[in-house]
């Protein structure tokens, strides 16, 4: 499977899934859809190719990677252009405050104080980005494997 034939279908699938998510589609539906669409678009560009679940999983992983990149870039632009950084920070601090209210243990409170600091907020953002990257790869891979398994059946005599 040459890279030159896989990048366009995967990027297109990720773009469509990103737009659908921006219009309100639930992310846990949009991500596997990106992987499945990558398989569909690849089959359209390569009509005689045999495609199995393993190849579909690779296509899905690539589309998940593109989805993560596009979503991160759009979120970054949104924060920069629309000045939503303060709102994002407020939501993160609100989550920390809710956790602090649930657990009054002094040791737990000391840990939460770290997350209220600027270094703690940076740590949370980096952790969230890593977590979202892994989720995008896993769900894209699952959608691509499903697409390969379903559409690969068409190749059987």
Q: What is the pLDDT along the chain (157 residues), one digit of tens a residue?
A: 677 788 999 999 999 998 888 888 888 899 999 999 999 999 888 777 778 888 899 999 999 999 999 988 888 887 788 777 777 778 877 887 787 777 777 777 777 778 778 888 888 889 989 999 999 999 999 999 999 998 876 545 5
Q: Hunting for tokens 């690779």 — which residue is that? A: 58
Q: Give the count of domains, the chain.
A: 1
Pinpoint the alpha helices (H) of the chain. 3-22, 27-45, 53-81, 85-102, 106-116, 118-152
Alpha carbons within 13 angstroms on the beta-carbon side of residue 41 total 23
Per-residue pLDDT tens digits for 86-124: 777 788 778 877 877 777 777 777 777 787 788 888 888
Q: For residues 67 and 13, what is the distance between their CA atoms, to the nearest angstrom? A: 8
Cβ-based burial of 55 (10 A; exposed 0-12, middle 13-18, buried ≥19):
buried
Which residues span the domain enclosing 98?
3-155
With H, G, I as helix, E, B as strand and everything else as coil, classify residue 141.
Answer: helix
């Amino acid at each position: 499977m040459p890279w030159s034939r896989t990048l366009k279908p995967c990027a297109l699938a990720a773009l469509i899934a990103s737009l659908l998510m921006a219009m309100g589609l639930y992310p846990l539906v949009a991500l596997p859809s990106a992987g499945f669409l990558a398989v569909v678009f690849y089959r359209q560009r390569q009509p005689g190719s045999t495609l199995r679940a393993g190849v579909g999983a690779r296509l899905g992983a690539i589309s998940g990677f593109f989805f993560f990149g596009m979503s991160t870039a759009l979120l970054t632009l949104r924060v920069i252009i629309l000045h939503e950084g303060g709102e994002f920070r407020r939501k993160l601090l609100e989550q920390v405050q809710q956790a602090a209210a649930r657990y009054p243990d002094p040791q737990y409170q000391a840990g939460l104080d770290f997350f209220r600091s600027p270094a703690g907020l940076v740590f949370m953002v980096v952790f969230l980005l890593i977590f979202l990257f892994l989720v995008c790869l896993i769900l894209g891979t699952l959608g691509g494997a499903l697409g390969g398994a379903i559409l690969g059946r068409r190749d059987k005599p």
